[in-house]
Amino acid sequence: MTGATMVGAGGGEVIGDSPERRVEILCEHDPLHATVSRFGPGRDGADLHVHRSHSDVFYVLEGELTVRLGAQDRQVALPAGTLALVPPPVVHGFRNASDADVRYLNFHAPGSGFAAYMRGLREGRSVGFDQHDPPQDGGRPVSEASIGAAEELAGGRRLLADTEEIAIAELSATQAEHVHARHVEAFYVLEGTLELMLAGEAVRAEQGAWVTVPAGVRHAVGGEARYLDVHAPNAGFAAHLRGDATAFDQE
């Protein structure tokens, strides 16, 4: 697949696995690091913190994830199918405050060493990462985080995130063969089977699979599936979905 990779459901690099918590690394490219996690009932995640130079994004797959926001620790419950995008330096944390398991995807854009940081936690060693205590001034206003928002577009498409660093959409459409010269595209299969051509090789991605397509790899998308389409950086993808392809990094 000439640099493209697929991770089947449950097949990511395991950071931790217990009845209370499982974390897997799915993607580790400079513009995008991604993990998938399961937290048991009442399981705490990260305490309040900020990122100074990258965005932290959560997409809930199953159950309910509680995102903590601001120095006042405002807590917002996100149900399955919703996304929270926290830009730098908005104070935030997260936990499972419910009485059932929660499964969620976590994106860091750009990656900023997140995967290496998680490996350090697994191995009991300190690894530098863009994560810091809440600043005394309270950080960026909480109102600048995007919590549960979705822009409904034609054809049943939903735009979930649109910042310079990352764009995320929920799609079911096929895509003709194309290539991106300057950014990473990735797919997570929510339902059904995604049939991809990756540098001329046919690949079937079932529900729960993650596929990363680096810049320069020609690819096409088919099959019957509902999936997340992630572009990092955005590179004009959100504008493309709205009908303006003039600035989109695609050939």
Q: Peptide bond before 19: cis, by omega within 30 degrees of 0?
A: no
Are the C-beta atoms of 207 and 192 separated by less than 8 Å? yes
State percent of the chain over pLDDT 70: 99
DSSP state letters, the chain: -TT-EEE-TT-SEEEEESSSEEEEEEEEETTEEEEEEEE-TT-B-PPSBB-SSSEEEEEEEESEEEEEETTTTEEEEEETT-EEEE-TT--EEEE--SSS-EEEEEEEES-TTHHHHHHHHHHT-----S-BPPPTT--S-GGGSEES--EE-GGG-EEEEESSS-EEEEE---EEEE--SS-EEEEEEEEEEEEEEETTEEEEE-TT-EEEE-TT--EEEEEEEEEEEEEES-TTHHHHHTT--TT----
**Considering Cα of 73, then 31, then 149, then 77, what sign does the dihedral take?**
negative
Q: Could you give the CA distance from residue 14 to residue 17 in angstroms, rounded to a whole number?
A: 7
pLDDT over 70 (residue 1): no
Q: Tens of pLDDT along 138-162? A: 999 999 999 999 999 999 999 999 9
d(C-alpha 62, C-alpha 104), whole Å:
7
What confidence tens digit (pLDDT) does each residue in 10-60 have?
999 999 999 999 999 999 999 999 999 999 999 999 999 999 999 999 999
Per-residue pLDDT, 39:
98
What are the CA-CA distances from residue 50 to residues 17, 23, 129, 153 (Å)?
26, 21, 11, 32
Q: Which residues contact 251 (CB under 8 A, 6 or more apart)?
A: 178, 179, 180, 181
Amino acid at 1: M
pTM: 0.97
